[in-house]
Amino acid sequence: MGSGRLTADEREFLARNGFVVRENVFSASEVADIKTACEDLVKRLVAERRRRRYHVGSYTFEPNNDQAVMIKWEGDSDVVHGIEPFAHLDPALKAWAHDSRFLEPMVDFVGDAHPNLFTEKLNLKRPGVGGVNPMHQDYPYWLDSAKEPARVATAMLFLDDSTLENGCLRVARGSHASGQWRNRTDSDEFGANEIDASAYTHIAMEPLPLRAGSIVMFGSFLVHCSEPNRSPHERRALLFSYQPAGHPTMVDSMNAATEARRRARAQQSTPTT
Ligand SMILES: O=C(O)CCC(=O)C(=O)O
């Protein structure tokens, strides 16, 4: 540990803006290996899909409790938008999460000498069909599953060049400094997690186009989003989220919830005398 820790300039930039970018962190051949592993996982999960989907806000979800994974689809199509968590499903992808190029800067983001993986997301914006990621902070999403949601931080690795046309990440500079923003209260359960954009029309969501192999890192209060992929090019990215050591992972929380539901069902079906 040591060389990949945040520099003084990066620390100062992070405090002011809420994110840090590092370009060309992973080589083209490393990115190619990661993409192959990701596409293999996607193929496997598509083959095992169950079509028990529900729509919330702009997302279509399919929970798979047996494998502790949530798949996001592009509506009712067979195109995957996202997979979370996934490290427990693929040892090679799990190994990348422990690469020092992620772990060392995360020491500073998480504020722990030994940050642990909390959850991971594979986000796919397929050419021409990859959908929007609405304006949000990660914090409300972590509230139910993370022990210290304010300390969870994410490193996003771009597997393709991300551009204005294919839906690069957009961030609100400095947005992390004002805690939790006002979220939608209009309808679905997810509204509580997405920012009420109508209350923040004056906020500029700044595009961060980045080459494949680059990473952007941010904490749970940075406001961010991305547009649909309107281009003929892929825009794939991995997001590894870290937390202080000793806390349960997202998979642990999902398995505990599945077990609690199983017990409740068993109790309900036990005849009383
Ligand atoms: O993939 C993107 O552009 C946005 C990622 C994101 O914010 C998320 O999945 O929470």
- Residue range 167-220, pLDDT digits in tens: 999 999 999 999 888 877 766 655 567 788 787 888 889 999 999 999 999 999
Q: How confident is the model at residue 9 (pLDDT cuts 50, 70, 90)?
A: very high
- Is residue 1 over pLDDT 60? no
- Measuring from atom 7 of ligand 1, which residue has the nearest CA? 225
User: Which residues' Cβ are closer than 6 Å to ligand 1?
Assistant: 121, 123, 133, 138, 169, 224, 226, 237, 239
Q: Which atom of ligand 1 is nearest to the CA of 125?
A: 1
Mutate to test the pocket of ligand 1, among 72, 142, 164, 169 (most ligand atoms within 8 A of CB): 169
Distance 5 CA to ligand 1 centre (A): 24
**Distance, CA of 101 to CA of 25 (rounded, Å):** 7
The tens digit of pLDDT for each residue in 127-177 reads 999 999 999 999 999 998 999 999 999 999 999 999 999 999 999 999 999
Q: Which of 164, 171, 218, 226 to mutate to test the pocket of ligand 1 (most atoms within 8 A of CB)?
A: 226
Distance CA 224, CA 205 (A): 7
pLDDT in tens, 106-115: 999 999 999 9
Ligand 1, atom 8: closest residue by C-alpha: 133
Cα-to-centroid distance, 273 and ligand 1 (Å): 52
Q: Which of 10-14, 48-52, 220-224, 245-249 has the lowest mean pLDDT?
A: 48-52
Mutate to test the pocket of ligand 1, among 171, 194, 225 (most ligand atoms within 8 A of CB): 225
Count of Cβ atoms closer than 10 Å to residue 34 Cβ = 21
The closest-lying atom of ligand 1 relative to the alpha carbon of residue 141 is: 10
| Percentage above 70 pLDDT, the chain | 96
> What SS3 class is residue 104?
helix
Instruction: Kindly tell me if the per-residue pLDDT of 2 is higher than 90.
Output: no
Ligand 1 centroid, distance to 225 Cα (angstroms) = 6
- State the average pLDDT for the chain: 92
The rounded distance, in Å, linking the Cα atoms of 140 and 180 is: 8
Instruction: Name the closest-CA residue to atom 10, ligand 1.
Output: 138
Best probe residue, ligand 1, of 239, 240, 250 (max atoms within 8 Å of C-beta): 239
In angstroms, the CA 214 to CA 158 distance is 6
Closest CA to 108 of 5, 183, 21, 8: 5
Contacts of 41 (CB under 8 A, 6+ apart): 83, 86, 89, 90, 93, 122
Are the C-beta atoms of residues 151 and 142 closer than 8 Å to each other? no
